[in-house]
Structure 1
Amino acid sequence: MSDPTGAGHLDDVLLWAGALVTLSAALGLLWRATRGTRRLAAKVEDFVDDWTGTDDRPGVPGRPGVMTRLDKIEHKLAAVEHELHPNSGSSLRDAVDRVDQRTAHLDPP
């Protein structure tokens, strides 16, 4: 093999430096090319954590998942709806109707 620079060790150093630069550039391009995929994966991970909930960690309280929170909302809504319709006399609607009847006797039309 001929020595282009005339110094064998210098040629070896230049060859390895060129290989290192080429490898670094390829890794940099690969890193940039996969950046969108990594961002999407992080967003999907956040979505899954929100959907399934998270457990308690030191210093961070856990959060219930979407289905647990929807179940709580449905129970609260059922309790409010129970108060809006007449039933056995214990609902808010029954109380409003009783007050309306009493005031109708006080001030006849």
Structure 2
Amino acid sequence: MSRADGTGVVAVDLVVVWCLAAAAIVAALGLLWRLTRGVRQIVGRVDEFVDDWNGTPGRAGVPGRPGVMARLDGIESRLGAVEHELHPNSGGSLRDAVDRVDVRTQQLTDQT
């Protein structure tokens, strides 16, 4: 009988085999746990991104947050209002007011 055949005691050989099998199962479960933990973290981050993109409705005690497209629409609206003030139009824009002040200042300097 060679050393590779076991110890010769059947009970000891069975305990060794079962211990090795248990260790392999525990190692496989540990690897599976680490893998699922990483996947859960990635899924959580993707879920947060989707919530930020789409927005979240308000709930008791927590105000809702608009999504990216709604926020971009608000930014474009405000930018349009600012741009309206920067170009001459019917006389009510900031640019028209600056032009009127410039004309009056030029008239005052011409008079003095």
TM-score, normalised with respect to structure 2: 0.75
SS at match of 2:62: coil
Aligned to 1:99: 101
Aligned to 2:76: 74
Matches within 5 A, 1:1-109: 4=11, 22-108=24-110
Cα offset, 1:57, TM superposition: 2.2
Aligned to 1:8: none
Show structure 2 runs of 5+ residues with no match: 1-8
Runs of 4+ in 1 over 3 A off after TM superposition: 17-25
Cα distance between partner residues in 2 of 1:87 and 1:50 = 38
SS at match of 1:102: helix
Cα offset, 1:65, TM superposition: 0.2
Show structure 1 runs of 5+ residues with no match: 6-10
Cα offset, 1:22, TM superposition: 4.8
TM-score, normalised with respect to structure 1: 0.77
Write 1 or 2 for the structure with the bigger share of helix: 2
Cα distance between partner residues in 2 of 1:54 and 1:23 = 42
Q: Which amino acid aligns with 1:79?
A: A
Cα distance between partner residues in 2 of 1:20 and 1:3 = 18
Cα offset, 1:24, TM superposition: 3.8
Q: Percent identity?
A: 61
Deviates more, 1:87-96 or 1:53-62: 53-62
Cα offset, 1:21, TM superposition: 5.6
Compute the RMSD of aligned alpha carbons: 2.5
Cα distance between partner residues in 2 of 1:51 and 1:31 = 30
For each residue in 1:61-108, what CA deviation from the matched residue of structure 2 results, as whole angstroms up to 9, or x when unmatched? 110000000000000000000000000101000000001000101112
Cα distance between partner residues in 1 of 2:29 and 2:60 = 37
For each residue in 1:3-57, what CA deviation from the matched residue of structure 2 results, as whole angstroms up to 9, or x when unmatched? 616xxxxx89xx5x87666544322210112332222111111110000000112
